């Protein structure tokens, strides 16, 4: 972690889980524990504070003990990232790392490698084997006004587009499986099998 940087984390759980049959994706179980549990276990040790970006009744997440941030608008992951940046700035963070709640295998060195790629106060996204994973990113809190303006402009709210416009670096990871996500019941079954084989 860069000297003097305070890195906070935000777990993006604002999606509607349409491909999960409308289920609350954060609370869907994988190998006996919720997706949110798996993500917290891997992510929390890497950041100085952690919050959950989610809409609806926050009390359903009470057992996790995290601040729950409603999305800043309805523009997909970027709305959750903006909420995280605003929260992080009020808490004294210099940057916020975002991860999706359906990424239960996120790398144990995600944050330090993103920081190295960003070279200090910059922006960085994760990539593996030529694929970019834009919801796994390091976002300086100073980007909050620019992100709010981008979302207010009516532009198509694509994470990649905003990141590219702000010179995002890429942090390359050798393990593509680390970014496998659970979008559908079939994905869950496949990931559960991988967990069992790895244990």
Domains, the chain, in order of start with CATH, read 7-198 (3.90.550.10)
Pairing verdict, β 7-12 and 95-100: parallel
Average pLDDT of the residues in 15-41: 78
Residue 2 CA to residue 144 CA, distance in Å, equals 20
The pTM of this model reads: 0.91
**Mean pLDDT lowest for which of 44-53, 100-109, 112-121?**
112-121
Of residues 9 and 193, which shows the higher confidence score? 9
- CA nearest neighbour of 107 among 36, 183, 174, 188: 174
Distance (Å, rounded) from C-alpha 157 to C-alpha 161? 8
- Which tens digits make up the pLDDT trace of 114-151? 999 998 669 999 999 999 999 999 999 999 999 999 99
- Give the contacts of 113 (CB within 8 A, at least 6 positions apart): 107, 126, 171, 173
Match 């996120």 to its residue by tokens.
106
């Amino acid at each position: 972690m860069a000297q003097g940087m305070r890195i906070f984390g935000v777990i993006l759980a604002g999606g509607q889980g349409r491909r999960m049959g409308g289920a609350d994706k954060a609370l869907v179980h994988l190998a006996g524990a919720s997706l949110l549990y798996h993500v917290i276990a891997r992510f929390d040790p890497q950041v100085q504070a952690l919050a959950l970006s989610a809409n609806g009744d926050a009390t359903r997440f009470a057992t996790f003990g995290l601040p729950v941030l409603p999305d800043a608008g309805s523009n997909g992951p970027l709305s959750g990232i903006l909420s995280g940046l605003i929260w992080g700035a009020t808490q004294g963070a210099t940057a916020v790392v975002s991860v999706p709640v359906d990424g239960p295998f996120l790398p144990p060195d995600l944050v330090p490698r993103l920081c190295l790629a960003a070279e200090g106060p910059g922006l960085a996204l994760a990539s593996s084997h030529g694929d970019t994973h834009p919801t796994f990113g390091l976002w300086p809190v100073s980007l909050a006004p620019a992100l709010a303006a981008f979302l207010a402009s009516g532009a198509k709210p694509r994470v990649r587009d905003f990141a590219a416009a702000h010179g995002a670096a890429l942090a390359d990871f050798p393990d593509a499986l680390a970014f496998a996500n659970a979008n559908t019941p079939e994905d869950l079954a496949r990931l559960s099998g991988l967990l069992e084989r790895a244990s």
